[in-house]
Amino acid sequence: MSKELLTMSAQALKAAYQTGALSPVEVCSNLLDHIEKHDQALNAWCLIDRDTTLQWARESEQRYQQGTSEGLLDGVPVAVKDVFLTPMWPTLKGSRTIDPASTLNKRSPAVAALERHGYVPLGKTTTPEFGWKGITDSPMCGPTNNPWDPSKTAGGSSGGSSAAVSAGMAPLALGTDAGGSIRIPASFCGIVGHKPTFSEVPHWPASPFGTLAHAGPMTRTVADAALMMNVMCEADARDSLAAPRRHIDYLAALDQPMKGLKIAMSTNLGYVDVDPDIEKAFKDAAKVFEDLGATITEADPGFSNPLAAFSHLFYSGAANAMRDLGERQRSLMDPALIEVATKAEKLSMLDYLGAMNERMAVSERMAVFHTKYDLLITPTLPLGAFDTNREVPVDWPSTRWPTWTPFTYPFNLTGQPALSVPMGLDSNGLPMGLQIVGARFDDARVLAAGHAFEQAKPFTVLPPLLQN
């Protein structure tokens, strides 16, 4: 199979289907062969069902042949993180505690929207148990590894989706993000990952992590992320917290100019130790925006590290996910998840409300910050991918994952849109990510900035398995 086919964008695939240069069956067959050949090293997938996928591809192919193709993604293969409900496949969330039959014949809003637009489901991708941490491993599936170096982590919790896109196994993937779970693996694996504004993309059932949790696209290009946003933002009445639909064409909005934008750059948010390779790449990235006509100002948002508040809220969510599980079920689970949830169960209501107070304070500070600056840019992560099957790097001073992802979780607290785009490779040959943050509901500007950066500084290097 050709490298070109494995790395084609969704837009390019759709165009090739329309001319007859490619067919959905041909593309999906090639991708499934590629998965079969390489996934043993990566472990990005927890469910592949070749017969079902090819049946969906045949139905799409027939629509093209009959001139009745439907929607924005007809025939485009999509990897589905195994926290999204799919009617034909069980959704186990990386856990042995879920009854597979109880999850069938249901659709998450994102999956329902993709169906309306003719997608082809490629399979389900791995997640840590209940999506609880920033790497991807679980007692059920084991660790998911990085396509750039399988001895390193792919990140998480959407690590399966990120590894699949990076490795050329899928052009598009669904991810979720309650503390960085789209942006962390996007940065480690060298792809695009967008955490939308909270409530912009309908989500159901409600996440146990509450309003920290967002659903979003994971892709190889910002244009494909915008295309997925056009689909995923469609209304779904089941999400009672969803904002009123604004019917924005995110793809059409990508070409808005950078000239005149006021962009704040913060290398460390005022409190983060950043790897020298990443710091240099970040400063080079800021210069790209300056060359595009934006005004760049070094400015920290001014909040102190909200790690304690985030941890109270996030780990309370983990405890919430387990609240109905008995001792026998808990014995089947990730021991580290049991540990953090048990600690969270001891928090008082005042502890929780104190964390909410800090959350509101950070949100208010960022709202005021964006009256002065259109965008904030930071590194996505302060470090490169570390050894696989570890929650933290070797000799790290803490045992918990949020301590090494200080740039991501603040913007789950605030609900702002935050995009990670690749900004090059470090001295170890591993990807580094640039994070672009906007005011709430300014996803269009965030995506446009990512697109402008991508066009000015294309990331064209491929993981080793696609270079052969």
Strands (E), 140-280: 145-146, 149-153, 172-177, 192-195, 214-219, 262-265
Euclidean distance between the first and final Cα of the chain, in Å?
Answer: 11
- Tell me whether strands 214-219 and 295-298 are parallel, antiparallel or unpaired: unpaired
Catalytic residue among 69, 138, 157, 158: 157
Q: Is 81 a catalytic residue?
A: yes
Q: Could you tell me if 248 and 201 are in contact, meaning their C-beta atoms sit under 8 angstroms apart?
A: no
With 0-12 / 13-18 / 19 or more C-beta atoms within 10 angstroms meaning exposed / middle / buried, residue 353 is exposed
Q: How many CA atoms lie within 13 A of 270 on its CB side?
A: 9
Cβ contacts of residue 98 below 8 Å, gap of 6+? Answer: 90, 91, 92
Distance between CA atoms of residues 100 and 108, nearest Å: 16
Helix orientation angle between 276-291 and 443-456, rounded to the nearest 10 degrees: 100
Q: Could you tell me if 314 and 109 are in contact, meaning their C-beta atoms sit under 8 angstroms apart?
A: no
Q: Is 195 a catalytic residue?
A: no
Q: What is the 3-state secondary structure (H, E, C) of 310-375?
A: HHHHHHHHHHHHCCCCCHHHHCCCCHHHHHHHHHHCCCCHHHHHHHHHHHHHHHHHHHHHHHHCCE
Q: Is 93 a catalytic residue?
A: no
Distance between CA atoms of residues 157 and 205, nearest Å: 18
Buried residues in 123-132 as b, exposed as e (16+ CB within 10 A)? bbbbbbbbbb
What Å distances lie between residue 250 and 90, 386, 434, CA to CA?
Answer: 32, 34, 20
CA torsion sign, 95 to 97 to 101 to 103? negative
Distance between CA atoms of residues 298 and 148, nearest Å: 32
DSSP helix/strand/coil, 141: coil
Catalytic residue among 14, 23, 69, 81: 81
Catalytic residue among 181, 187, 266, 420: 181
Residues annotated as catalytic are: 81, 157, 181
